[in-house]
Amino acid sequence: MIALAGLVFVLLSVVGGYLLAHGNLLVLLQPAEFVIIGGAALGGMVAANPLPVTLGIFKGLLSLLKGSPYTKAVYLETLKMLNDLFNHARKNGLARLEQDIEEPAKSPVFSKYPSLLKNHHALHFVCDTVRLVVTGGVQTHDLDQMMELDLEVHHHGSSQPSTALATVADSLPGLGIVAAVLGIIITMGAMGGPPEQIGHKVAAALVGTFFGVLLCYGFVGPLAAHMNKLADAETQYYHVLRVGLAAFAKGLPPLLAVEFARRTIPTHLRPSFREMEQAFRSAKAAAGAAA
């Protein structure tokens, strides 16, 4: 939602400044210029990217309305999940985890965290890693390298839509010049006509350049940058899972393994150790009451 507010502010600033200079808004309404620039940009985007990337651009634009799902509360819940999972393995043995990772929805650990169950990639990332730990035979450094490769592949895929949208933004000023040149060609064909008509056609041509530059730096470029930051936030979340799981695979105590994960959370979203410990106690008390 903050991205939408920023776009509205850009629009109000540009239009407001134009009106303060006693500009005529009707002059800026040039449908032909909009069709040339918007259509060319959309066609170039479709031609330059595979269908999954193109669909990812539209999905990413819709996700901007929601913002990043990885809040402080989500990170705290993730730490609670890791703590429950590690303690469950410590008390009942690694072999018991096989049932949890095969059917997470029925697991006494994962079923308590519906937000994780909805995040299919994160759930598979945790379950596939725990499966290797349960199976054994994989060295800790090899397991960590495998998780790192998984994160690199996922980040590359999630950042492709934002990169493609940034390319579209870079092309918009050039497409604005194309629209302006076409407008000048039309103007040259009207030479000898009334001065008012020629002035109107020149203004229409210049609107194409204005529209292309404004879309690039005021709208599409910032949206692409915001999408890229959301992809980085998602990768950071998986990195927290990776560090916690790697510490668990090394044989560290559950609380210490979770503390490793907590230290990798971005500072503005990281819960304090006291907050984490209090959340663990509350969860334990709730489980005891339910039992």
What one-character-per-residue DSSP string does 143-184 give? HHHHHHHHHHHHHHHHHHHHHHHHHHHHHHHHHHHHHHHHHH
Element at 206 (helix H, strand E): helix 195-214
pLDDT of residue 287: 65
Report whether 179 contacts 36 (CB < 8 A): yes
Q: Which residue has the tokens 């669909």?
A: 55
Q: Residue 283's pLDDT is what?
A: 76
pTM: 0.87
**Tokens in use for 137?**
């035979």
Which pair of structure tokens corresponds to residue 147? 């998780």
Alpha-carbon span 68 to 70, nearest angstrom: 5
Nearest Cα to 17, choosing from 219, 214, 221? 214
Helix 140-189 and helix 120-135, axial crossing angle in degrees, nearest 10 = 160
* Residue 5: per-residue pLDDT: 87
The residues spanned by each domain of the chain are: 1-12+31-285
Among 178-187, 217-226, 260-269, 270-279, name the one with the lowest average pLDDT.
Answer: 178-187
The C-alpha atoms of residue 133 and residue 253 are separated, in whole angstroms, by 15
List pLDDT tens digits, range 93-139.
888 888 888 888 888 888 888 888 888 899 999 999 999 988 887 88
State the average pLDDT for the chain. 89
